[in-house]
Amino acid sequence: MTQGDLPHAVDVLVVGGGVTGAGVLRDLARRGLRSLLVERGDYGTGTTGRYHGLLHSGGRYVGRDQVAARECIVENRVLRRIAPASIEDTGGYFVATPDDPEEYVEAFPGRCATAGVPCEEVPIADLLPREPALSRRIRRAFRVPDGSIEPWQLIDATLADARLHGSDAVPYQRVVGFELRGGRIVAARLRDEGSGSERTVWTSFVVSAAGAWAGQIAALAHVQVEMTPGKGTMLVYNNRMTDSVINRCHASSDADIMVPVHTVAILGTTDVKVPDPDDIAVRREEVAALVAEGARMFPDLPRMRILRAYTGVRPLYRPPVDPAGGGNRAITRAHAVLDHAGQGVENFVSIVGGKLTTHRLMAEETVDAVAAKLGVAAPCTTADEVLPDQGDGRTYWLGHRLAEHEERGGGDADLLCECELVTRDAAEAYLDRRWPCSLDDMRRGTRLGMGPCQGAFCTFRAAGLIAERRGGDTDADAAAAEDHAALADRALTGFLRERFRGTGPVASGRQLQELLVTAGMYVGVLGLDSLVEPETVKRTAVEPSAVVPAPGGGAAGARAFEGAATAATAGPTPGAADAQR
């Protein structure tokens, strides 16, 4: 859908195309409310696309937030039932290192039992052969039903269900204002982020599912929502050093979870209060601190190759009187539905806080509030009905793409991305569904470029596919369509800029060598730097101050990469998003 196709009026307008907004749209649609979701970027380019990837069992919260823990285990089971295609059933362990307090470890199984989180102690002698990268100093381990969950597939399937029930969603539409009359929002002004044009959509109700940006959306309706955005940094390693989620058995802190995500493993996270949810820069010091702390669970981490660093911003909400007090980790990870009638706007609610794991429940409670206000009696059905596009109804496993590929005859002739096994057919199918879109959108939809080579060898191939697409079927469309080569060039620079972000702070050793090969291919061979108009050249997120000598790499090498990356990826590209997983 483009801006020109937007409906003139809807029952409910949902702001924000992360997992929460998608869940809200699905629930509204299933209760018969004709709704529209608008997202300022691509779907899942806010916190949902920059999270850690854990389907929580609840074990992480049993120590300090039993409500959050209970919600997690209930929704964990629901998601396994309704969205198996987005989940890898890795299982998880809480492991006690010598540094973890004995009383926490001792109390852990009992606290899990209170919250309803299945927890079983396993002998270390059984665990270490399964997880050989783990520290030999681990003294106890508990198995819990954690998993790994893929956000973009989940959003896609959730939106598909909403569409089947008569609602719709549109990306790259930013809400820039509301029109209020008599204490009600009657319309929203949307700006198309590609063309800059604006349109008005009339609505009976507004739900803000804008996550860490909820305060900004509320301000457009002249109400106050105090968010306390908490930035978390994560590191993507080039191999999957663990097959299960590994958590440290202590009160949650920095660098204490490793999550296997497809072909890589992600270490996280930090939690730093930031004034601006768009503050997603990563510094080398954070990377070094994460590696040092993570090495208590995985002692070889300092010698392993980090592909990239990225950050997400938690949509933490601080109620007017914060019963928790303390720092950001003390604010509840549970959620809140805020009805803004008390602040003078009758038909406006915000959903804040929570986790990806609990998004469906958050949506249910939000839509209960909306339905009550609109006099709609239809019950929520989202926990019972399986989402569309769930394949054979089983959770995925690491080798599922390879197995499917081999079933179709195997071979590598049709492979665009060897790391993530993205075939030409899969990429074409994505483009059929989402065109016009960027290569970066295609990455989220297919995982192209997200494996160990980070797009070095697939990006130019995928750019060729983009180049083959023309604007539309009619002569007028074709005339207006971009020139093939220019289209491919733009797709390439946008995609590489996105991939190079987050590589500066980890550019050292073997990874620096790989980055220089990539930069050499795209700058040295393909001359990508010559595509950029001089006046549009601007820096990437690589901070010069962050370029310090690193083991096996060195400042000179890092600077060389920085220069190449900057040249290769400078300039604005419509549709390009910030650094993500």
Ligand X SMILES: Cc1cc2nc3c(=O)[nH]c(=O)nc-3n(C[C@H](O)[C@H](O)[C@H](O)COP(=O)(O)OP(=O)(O)OC[C@H]3O[C@@H](n4cnc5c(N)ncnc54)[C@H](O)[C@@H]3O)c2cc1C
* Sites of contact with ligand X (CB under 6 A): 15-21, 38-41, 45-48, 51-54, 56, 174-175, 209-213, 217, 232, 268-269, 312-315, 354-357
5: exposed, middle or buried (C-beta count within 10 Å: 0-12, 13-18, 19+)? exposed
Length of the chain in residues, anyone?
581
CB 215 → ligand X: shortest distance, Å? 10
Q: Which is nearer to ligand X, 171 or 557 (CB)?
A: 171
CB 451 → ligand X: shortest distance, Å? 20
Amino acid at site 201: V
Q: Which is nearer to ligand X, 85 or 363 (CB)?
A: 363
Buried b (16+ CB within 10 A) or exposed e, 27-58: bbbbbebbbbbbbbbbbbbbbbbbbbbbbbbb
CB 230 → ligand X: shortest distance, Å? 7
Q: Which is nearer to ligand X, 50 or 143 (CB)?
A: 50
Q: How far apart are CA 578 and CA 47, in angstroms?
A: 11
CB 86 → ligand X: shortest distance, Å? 12
CB 130 → ligand X: shortest distance, Å? 22
| Count of Cβ atoms closer than 10 Å to residue 182 Cβ | 6
Q: Which is nearer to ligand X, 207 or 467 (CB)?
A: 207
Buried b (16+ CB within 10 A) or exposed e, 252-291: bebbbbbbbbbbbbbbbbbbbebeebeebbbebebbeebb
**How many helices, marked H, and strands, marked E, lie in the chain?**
16, 22
CB 271 → ligand X: shortest distance, Å? 8
Q: How far apart are CA 346 and CA 325, in angstroms?
A: 30
Q: Which is nearer to ligand X, 260 or 553 (CB)?
A: 260
79: exposed, middle or buried (C-beta count within 10 Å: 0-12, 13-18, 19+)? buried
Q: Tell which residue, 490, 491, 487, has the closest CA to residue 470.
A: 487
CB 211 → ligand X: shortest distance, Å? 3
CB 427 → ligand X: shortest distance, Å? 24
Q: What are the percentages of helix, strand and coil residues in the chain, rounded to 5?
A: 40, 20, 40
Q: How far apart are CA 208 and CA 216, in angstroms?
A: 10
CB 209 → ligand X: shortest distance, Å? 5
Q: Which is nearer to ligand X, 255 or 558 (CB)?
A: 255
Integer angstrom CA distances of residue 564 from 219, 243, 305, 504: 41, 35, 21, 11
Tokens of 554: 């060195």
CB 22 → ligand X: shortest distance, Å? 7
Q: Which is nearer to ligand X, 210 or 512 (CB)?
A: 210
Q: Which is nearer to ligand X, 19 or 258 (CB)?
A: 19
Q: How far apart are CA 192 and CA 546, in angstroms?
A: 35
For 459, phi then psi, to 5°, come to: -65, -45
In terms of phi and psi (left: phi > 0; alpha: psi -120 to 50; beta: otherwise), the region of 344 is left
Q: Which is nearer to ligand X, 222 or 303 (CB)?
A: 222
CB 2 → ligand X: shortest distance, Å? 16
- Taking CB atoms, the residue at the shortest distance from ligand X is 18
Question: What is the DSSP track for 145-191?
Answer: --EEE-HHHHHHHHHHHHHHTT-EEESSEEEEEEEEETTEEEEEEEE
CB 97 → ligand X: shortest distance, Å? 21
Residue 149 contacts by C-beta under 8 Å, 6 or more apart in sequence?
A: 53, 54, 55, 79, 83, 86, 87, 88, 356, 357
**3-class SS letters over 340-370:** HHHHCCCCEEEEEECCCCCHHHHHHHHHHHH
Q: Which is nearer to ligand X, 131 or 578 (CB)?
A: 578
Q: Which is nearer to ligand X, 171 or 436 (CB)?
A: 171
Q: Which is nearer to ligand X, 354 or 451 (CB)?
A: 354
Q: Which is nearer to ligand X, 210 or 491 (CB)?
A: 210
CB 354 → ligand X: shortest distance, Å? 5
DSSP SS3 for 419:
coil
CB 149 → ligand X: shortest distance, Å? 7
In terms of phi and psi (left: phi > 0; alpha: psi -120 to 50; beta: otherwise), the region of 571 is left
Q: Which is nearer to ligand X, 38 or 144 (CB)?
A: 38
Q: Which is nearer to ligand X, 206 or 427 (CB)?
A: 206
**3-class SS letters over 484-499:** HHHHHHHHHHHHHHHH
Query: Using an 8 Å Cβ cutoff, are 133 and 341 in contact?
Result: no
For 109, phi then psi, to 5°, come to: -60, -40
Tokens of 528: 């990508």
CB 158 → ligand X: shortest distance, Å? 11
